[in-house]
């Protein structure tokens, strides 16, 4: 990792981390050597590939090592100071620190560090909103009965209310996430849902169109946030739209939390001052362990605090400890430098594509990701993703608005800059990355399958993969991953 990454990445730090990992791998090897070998191989693979998946990053050795401790052995259902298991005082310390760092980093009134993932964080948020907006008033309407004295008829009435609420989120093909009401996901099954999209001409969110849809549908929850929308969002405007119909405004900032933490997104573009509830993952642009967080106003905090047992099982104490370490890193001045570089590098990558006549959804970016329409190369997203992987460039295919190839084969490739920015890539390197991507796609042709035209089969011109891998290796060697770390 480079000077733009976690604090303290000097020679002494690298030597200490190397010693720790070598010792850990020897212990693992004594029990299951194949796991130790796969672990070494994974580091080698990551060191020798251009990782451009927008939802991936590289956590610091301190964050990674924090997860491998005896906190993994603890059951700790409940909340700080109120556990259903004994001897959780150290878990209380860990969870309290993770929440404290999250509150301070994002300027939130309340933070909940237990969710195991972004999907878990969203489920906690949805049920907390239902409990606050529907369940509690519903119980009040049933009279003064204790919750344990409610009849089956009482519960049937309450279940009918909980199961008939409305949610509106961004559609999957215009950049939203499957947990924002996509039918195959639980969010699309637990709510009566409708989706808003983007302007078909520009690809940008049309706030007047969103407002009109919200007025007509009147959702209980309005969700903003994205996984493949390459532009910033005016969260102040979205809150106004939610308030007009009395909706709870929820933001899923899993993808861009690092840009919020690093103060790249401020004012109307910072969701925390405007949303009732904000969810996020702690990896991606935040560069922590795989996990989730929920931030909330005081109104929703009591219900969020019941995430376990409402939705979650026992919290992963070792991961909460790693969240605390990552959030502490993100509070350092160096992280703001990193976050700004992520956004600047995305602009450089987009510019590199545009000047080579590649077609981008919305024509560019002003966040951390770029969405490339590969139909101009005559390819599906599946074909493009595979050809790039053959050439040492790791990406993921992604749907584009009104995608003719659907969510599996897709017509787009999503690129993100957080991981390579962690390695030290700058504007020149990302321009070169754009050049290599265009070279691969320009030398890829669709191929027929055994039954005719195929959306997955392709041919890559001879020598292209080797040539691009060699060029990528030069970039990677100049910007090593975990420099000085030897296994």
Please identify every residue annotated as catalytic: 75, 77, 252, 281, 284, 290
Instruction: Quote the CA–CA distance of 221 and 247 in Å, as a whole number.
Output: 5
Q: Which helix (H) or strand (E) holds 478?
A: helix 464-478
82 is in an annotated binding site: no
Task: Answer left, alpha or beta for residue 81, where phi above 0 means left and psi between -120 and 50 means alpha.
Answer: left
Residue 213's Cβ-side half-sphere holds a number of Cα atoms within 13 Å equal to 20
176 is in an annotated binding site: yes
177 is in an annotated binding site: yes
Structure tokens at 357: 């006549």
Structure tokens at 365: 């970016």
DSSP assignment, residue 247?
Answer: P
Neighbours of 16 (CB within 10 A): 15
Instruction: Quote the CA–CA distance of 102 and 330 in Å, as a whole number.
Output: 10
DSSP assignment, residue 282?
Answer: S
Instruction: Quote the CA–CA distance of 402 and 388 in Å, as a whole number.
Output: 24
Whole-angstrom Cα Rg for the chain: 23
- Crossing angle of helices 89-106 and 317-330, rounded to 10°: 30
- Could you list the beta-strand ranges (E) of 207-329: 221-225, 248-252, 277-281, 292-296
372 is in an annotated binding site: no
368 is in an annotated binding site: no
> Binding site for (6S)-5,6,7,8-tetrahydrofolate, residues?
172, 176-178, 298
> Binding site, residues?
172, 176-178, 298
């Amino acid at each position: 990792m480079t000077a733009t990454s976690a604090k303290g990445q000097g020679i002494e730090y690298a030597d200490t981390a190397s010693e720790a990992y070598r010792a850990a791998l020897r212990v693992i090897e004594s029990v299951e050597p194949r796991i130790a070998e796969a672990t070494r191989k994974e580091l080698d693979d990551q060191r020798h590939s251009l990782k451009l998946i927008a939802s991936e990053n590289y956590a610091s050795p301190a964050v990674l090592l924090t997860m491998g401790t005896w906190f993994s052995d603890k059951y700790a259902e409940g909340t700080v100071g109120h556990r259903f298991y004994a001897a959780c005082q150290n878990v209380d310390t860990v969870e309290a620190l993770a929440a404290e760092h999250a509150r301070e980093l994002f300027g939130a009134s309340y933070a909940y560090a237990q969710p195991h993932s972004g999907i878990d964080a969203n489920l906690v948020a949805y049920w907390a909103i239902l409990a606050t907006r529907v369940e509690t008033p519903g119980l009040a309407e049933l009279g003064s009965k204790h919750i344990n004295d409610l009849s089956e008829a009482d519960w049937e009435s309450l279940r009918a209310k909980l199961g008939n609420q409305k949610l509106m989120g961004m559609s999957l093909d215009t950049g939203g996430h499957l947990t924002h009401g996509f039918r195959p996901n639980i969010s699309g099954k637990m709510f009566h849902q409708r989706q808003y999209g983007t302007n078909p001409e520009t690809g940008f969110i049309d706030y007047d169109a969103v407002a009109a849809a919200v007025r007509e549908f009147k959702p209980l929850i309005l969700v903003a946030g994205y996984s493949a929308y390459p532009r910033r969002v005016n969260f102040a405007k979205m809150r106004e739209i939610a308030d007009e119909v009395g909706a709870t405004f929820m933001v899923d900032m899993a993808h861009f939390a690092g840009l919020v933490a690093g103060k790249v997104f401020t004012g109307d573009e910072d969701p925390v001052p405007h949303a009732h509830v904000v969810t996020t993952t702690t990896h991606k642009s935040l560069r922590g362990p795989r996990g989730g967080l929920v931030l909330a106003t005081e109104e929703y905090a009591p219900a969020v605090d019941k995430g376990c047992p409402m939705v979650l099982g026992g919290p992963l104490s070792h991961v909460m400890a790693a969240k605390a370490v990552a959030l502490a890193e993100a509070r350092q001045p160096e992280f703001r430098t990193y976050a700004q570089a992520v956004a600047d590098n995305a602009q450089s990558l987009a510019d590199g594509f545009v000047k080579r006549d590649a077609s981008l959804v919305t024509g560019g970016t002003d966040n951390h990701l770029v969405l490339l329409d590969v139909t101009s190369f005559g390819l599906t997203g599946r074909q493009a993703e595979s050809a790039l992987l053959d050439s040492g460039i790791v990406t993921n295919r992604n749907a584009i608005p009104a995608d003719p190839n659907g969510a599996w084969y897709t017509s787009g490739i999503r690129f993100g800059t957080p991981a390579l920015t962690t390695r030290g890539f700058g504007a020149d390197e990302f321009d070169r990355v754009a050049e290599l991507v265009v070279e691969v796609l320009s030398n890829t042709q669709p191929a027929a399958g055994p039954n005719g035209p195929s959306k997955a089969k392709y041919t890559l011109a001879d020598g292209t993969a080797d040539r691009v891998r060699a060029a990528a290796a030069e970039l990677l060697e100049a910007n090593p991953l975990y420099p000085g770390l030897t296994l």
